[in-house]
Amino acid sequence: VYNGFWFAPEREALQVYFDHVASSVTGTARVKLYKGSATVVGRKAPKSLYDKELVTFERDSVYNQADAGAFIKLSALRLRVRSRVEAKENALEPQKAE
């Protein structure tokens, strides 16, 4: 946008994504504007995903902290696979003469 790409296809594709994601967003936010800063001072949403029972780091029955390790490993798997594919592609490409 800052480089004059407002009408670029990439921005338009992102807009479709943002419109889809925001289609279920509801609610209001109160914002305090003061000397160039913006601070959220209140929010209310009928479809809020926030649940104060889930935002604890204490021992509870909702979330098992031991699950985090497996989640991190599984999430990183796609990045490791991509790295291997790119390494193979780079090995197959002829080296450019300088």
pLDDT digits (tens, 9 = 90+) for 35-77: 999 999 999 999 888 887 777 666 666 777 788 888 899 989 9
CB 42 within 8 A of CB 29: yes
H or E element that contains 48: none
Please return the burial class of 63, using the count of CB atoms within 10 Å of its CB with bins 0-12, 13-18 and 19+. middle
Tokens of 8: 């670029």
Model's pTM, two decimal places?
0.43
Residue 93, pLDDT score: 72
Q: How many whole angstroms separate alpha carbon 72 and alpha carbon 89?
A: 26
- State the residue for tokens 């990439």: 10
